[in-house]
Structure 1
Amino acid sequence: MSDLTTLSRRSFILMSVALAACKPGENILKITGLTMGTTYNVVAVDKSGSVTEAEAKKRIDAALALVNQQMSNWDPTSEISRFNAKTGTESVSVSSDLATVMQAAESVNVASEGRFDTTMGALIDLWGFGANGETRMPEAAEIAEAKARSGHAATLKVGASSLQKKQGDAQVYLSAIGKGFGADQVGRALETLGMTDYMVEIGGDLYASGKNADGLPWQIGIEKPAALSGGVMGVIGVSGLGLASSGDYRNYFEKDGQRYSHLIDPATGRPITHKTASATVLAENAMLADAWATAMLILGRERGLEIAEEQNLAVLFVERDEDAADLQFKSVASGRFNALTS
């Protein structure tokens, strides 16, 4: 199924879920499926012992189907696709869920100095990182033209329950926030069944609530940002938080010795070139973690860490160590990240 995530950055969170034997009367539900062009994984502790996997999967799939109906850029009948198809600049009423996502997107856009931007489709397509695209080096004039059709402040007005184009050709893509919102919605669906101990992961973005079957926070491993070698940099306990990572190491092309990432900086209209390889964010929900992970990687470690400290954000940056003889990485965390994971 095509949907939100085709344009998105690749997440690289590995889950480490060690499940103990069930206590009397408990069920451990493990449910997987497909959504948003990727996979989802849910592990939940049913303390009542009364919820079946079939019942839980039905609730999960219904929640995800609704998110797709609202936010899939690949379904021409979805709410966001219908908005994108309009060429007028009149205000359009939107669902409460879409309004929530767009308000969050605008908030992160402003706080990240414009680095998180849902209107970057023209630039992403221009560089060949869109659906079925072929990567290439565009001319400066092409970049300027696509850049003129991008930018939250220039092209959109986000209201409490409405969305309005300032430019008729504006397009909104929710690939870098939709998976996180989907994970949050699955969590809410599980809670309607009385479960409060669960971990939901969609394509690497996750939300974890309560404790795992061992009575510990959910143990999440963060992968080394290396396309070939991989490996886990460390494991952290997550509970009551969303977590997402953004990396530049899987989707890129090289030309004349220069690496061009799929992550386009809205300020320049060009791929990022700094040495920050990944950014991992812990936030109050997966939606915000998803958006901030993209913003922080585009910002890079230097300015990103300054903003993280100003905004009290929990962020872990991983950089390539250019002084090492072989491929090595070094990490720097914000104060909030250290506080949440110590």
Structure 2
Amino acid sequence: MKKKRGILFGVVFICVLFFVIVFFVRNKESAEPVSKSDFKLNTVVTVTIYDLEEKEKKPDDKDKRNEKGIHREEKDAEEIIDKALKLCDKYEKIFSRTLPESEIYALNHGTLPMEDGYYLLSEECAALIEKGLYYSELSGGAFDITIEPVSSLWDFTSGEKIVPDAETIAEKQACVGYEDVELKGNKLRFKKEGMGIELGAVAKGYIADKVKEYLVSEGVKSAVIDLGGNVLCVGEKPDGKPFKIGIQKPFADRSETVSAVEIAGTSVVSSGIYERYFEKDGKLYHHILDPATGYPYENGLVSVTVLSEESADGDGLSTACFALGLEKGLELIEQTPDTEAMFITEDGEMHFSKGFVYCG
């Protein structure tokens, strides 16, 4: 009799243990992510947190577990996201070419403080300019952050569809040339009058990296940062699987994808002519300008998507590779460690670097 009771007790214990395990596993899997979006950096920015480290509970704390048994409340994630979104505002006031209160605006208009003939830059501004100059040199000037005198002539957002006259473009072209920027630490000077800096092709990637850095410092273990074409992940999904990120189909709705990739802790950045453009007299004009002509590139490419460890590198490379064209762009990617890319040409064909892996 005692033996039967022991067996019965053992069976009941195993069943209870099984249901407890299933309960907690299901709860973990069903935990809802916390997400917020806002219009910043001239695009829709979305930060989604999937998993946070649990706060260390003090002995005198009241039990703040929610129904899923998690110490960290939803408001913790919301507060972290709010602060992450504010970082976008902070960096826009440094890197924006058009905000009168920004550091780059002051640099381009000659109102930044100077010392011994050099403009004095903040640490963040100097770091991003250095990154931009690196990719300008790497591309042989096909991508050039000193395109600002020319890019300021073009307006792809107002809907006015104005093509600058050739004489003005030629005049401003004479002020373009990354080789004529001298950067020493946080000091910068232009070797020619009328020069300016345009960081639009690298700023969002840099900001995404800074947002990720902040999220990790706050104990975020799993998240997706989406800065409108720049996607950066923190870790992997809570179930241990990678995030599946869709690659937008050019000239289609943002929800329509042409392919997808699986990433964990890394970045996906796309640059393309479909992002900002207008059509006039049957001709399409887009925002990726050729420093050699002052007009939009016409090299048969529609978009370039780069997979990299850091988003700033993906940003710089995607624009540099677009500027270089399909053949030279692919060559550059193959020479860059831990980096892959997909190119889409005007005929809709997709071209991949050797290690690029897509999942649909």
CA offsets 1:272-327 (integer angstroms, 9 cap, x no match): 11221110011221112112212222222122112222334421101122xxxxxx
Task: Indicate the SS of the match to 1:197.
Answer: strand
Structure of larger gyration radius? 2
2:35 corresponds to? 30
CA offsets 1:241-284 (integer angstroms, 9 cap, x no match): 22210111353344565433322111222211122111001122
Aligned pairs for 1:292-307 within 5 A: 292-307=317-332
Aligned pairs for 1:152-231 within 5 A: 152-154=178-180, 156-227=181-252, 231=256
1:4 corresponds to? none
Task: Indicate the SS of the match to 1:198.
Answer: strand
Tell me the amino acid that sits aligned with residue 340 of structure 2: A
* CA gap 1:229/1:118 in 2 versus in 1, 3 angstroms: closer
Distance 2:288 2:39 in 1: 25
Report the number of matched residues: 313
Shift of 1:110: 0.8
Distance 2:134 2:182 in 1: 12
Asked if the contact 2:175–2:193 (Cα under 8 Å) also holds between the matched residues in 1, the reply is no
Aligned pairs for 1:245-324 within 5 A: 245-254=270-279, 257-312=282-337, 313-321=339-347
2:66 corresponds to? none
Distance 2:231 2:254 in 1: 23
Report the TM-score, using the length of structure 1 for normalisation.
Answer: 0.81
Tell me the amino acid that sits aligned with residue 175 of structure 2: R
Aligned pairs for 1:103-118 within 5 A: 103-118=130-145
* CA gap 1:130/1:157 in 2 versus in 1, 3 angstroms: farther
Return the match for 1:66 from 90, 97, 121. 90
Distance 2:160 2:52 in 1: 46
Return the match for 2:173 from 147, 154, 161. 147
Distance 1:200 1:114 in 2: 30
1:5 corresponds to? none
Shift of 1:31: 2.3
Distance 2:26 2:232 in 1: 23
Distance 1:63 1:257 in 2: 40
* CA gap 1:249/1:24 in 2 versus in 1, 3 angstroms: closer
CA offsets 1:49-88 (integer angstroms, 9 cap, x no match): 4252332133213322321232222322222222222178
Return the match for 1:243 from 265, 268, 287. 268
1:6 corresponds to? none
* Farther-moved stretch of structure 1 (74-83 vs 99-108): 74-83
Distance 1:21 1:65 in 2: 38
Return the match for 1:93 from 113, 120, 126. 120
Asked if the contact 1:106–1:158 (Cα under 8 Å) also holds between the matched residues in 2, the reply is no
Asked if the contact 1:260–1:273 (Cα under 8 Å) also holds between the matched residues in 2, the reply is no
Task: Establish whether residue 83 from structure 1 lines up as the match of residue 107 from structure 2.
Answer: yes
Shift of 1:98: 1.3
CA offsets 1:208-256 (integer angstroms, 9 cap, x no match): 1211234211110112213479832222111222221011135334456
Distance 1:194 1:85 in 2: 41
Task: Establish whether residue 40 from structure 1 lines up as the match of residue 40 from structure 2.
Answer: no
Asked if the contact 1:248–1:261 (Cα under 8 Å) also holds between the matched residues in 2, the reply is yes
Task: Indicate the SS of the match to 1:180.
Answer: helix
* CA gap 1:100/1:125 in 2 versus in 1, 3 angstroms: closer
Runs of 4+, deviation exceeding 6 Å? 24-27
Instruction: State percent identity of aligned pairs.
Output: 28
- RMSD (Å) for aligned C-alpha atoms: 2.8
* CA gap 1:242/1:200 in 2 versus in 1, 3 angstroms: same
Shift of 1:97: 1.4
Tell me the amino acid that sits aligned with residue 133 of structure 2: E
Tell me the amino acid that sits aligned with residue 237 of structure 1: E
Tell me the amino acid that sits aligned with residue 31 of structure 1: K
* CA gap 1:117/1:70 in 2 versus in 1, 3 angstroms: same
Tell me the amino acid that sits aligned with residue 280 of structure 1: T
Task: Indicate the SS of the match to 1:303.
Answer: helix
Tell me the amino acid that sits aligned with residue 36 of structure 1: L
Unaligned runs of 5+ in 2: 1-24, 55-69
Task: Establish whether residue 333 from structure 1 lines up as the match of residue 358 from structure 2.
Answer: no
1:3 corresponds to? none
Asked if the contact 2:260–2:359 (Cα under 8 Å) also holds between the matched residues in 1, the reply is no
Task: Indicate the SS of the match to 2:146.
Answer: coil
Distance 1:205 1:229 in 2: 13
Asked if the contact 1:103–1:158 (Cα under 8 Å) also holds between the matched residues in 2, the reply is yes
Task: Establish whether residue 55 from structure 1 lines up as the match of residue 55 from structure 2.
Answer: no
Distance 2:297 2:31 in 1: 48
